[in-house]
Amino acid sequence: MAEQGSCDTMEEKSLLLEYFGENPMLRIIDFLLDNRLFDYSKKQIVEGAGIGKATFYKYWDRLEKKGIVKVTRSFGKTKLYKLNEQNPVVKKIMEIELAMIEETSPKKAKAIASR
């Protein structure tokens, strides 16, 4: 799992990607989900999700229009983004991820649920 500032692609496949596949949109969501304490520039999301820039932009507008991601702050021309945890779809994705974690690691699931 990536940490803030990490440029490495995912070394270990997340449960979300393991269950639902390597779709670029899911890779973006998965990166932001795994790192939801921080906000990121588009460039950092591209690097963290391990996808190409052209692929990223193919899906990004849809994520913004659907309210899956939101701007958290901006400075100059740079905007930083996070998952919009108030969005009903994001809430369901988080529930699904928690259910998958519960299935594989109940102790880890309790720790995540208490956040």
pLDDT, averaged per 10 consecutive residues of the chain (115 residues), comes to 40 76 90 94 96 96 96 95 96 90 70 62
Which residue range forms the structural domain that includes residue 76?
A: 15-113
Q: For residue 109, is it within any domain?
A: yes
- The total number of structural domains in the chain stands at 1
Q: For residue 108, is it within any domain?
A: yes
- Secondary structure, 3-state, 30-49: HHHHHCCCCCECHHHHHHHH
**Nearest-angstrom CA–CA distance, 110 and 81:** 27
Q: For residue 88, is it within any domain?
A: yes
Please tell me the predicted confidence (pLDDT) of residue 32.
96
Q: For residue 5, is it within any domain?
A: no
Closest C-alpha among 71, 12, 61, 105 to residue 2: 12
Q: For residue 51, is it within any domain?
A: yes
Q: For residue 3, is it within any domain?
A: no
**Nearest-angstrom CA–CA distance, 79 and 92:** 26
Please tell me the predicted confidence (pLDDT) of residue 114.
64
CATH number of domain containing 92: 1.10.10.10
Q: For residue 27, is it within any domain?
A: yes
Please tell me the predicted confidence (pLDDT) of residue 112.
60
**Nearest-angstrom CA–CA distance, 32 and 84:** 10
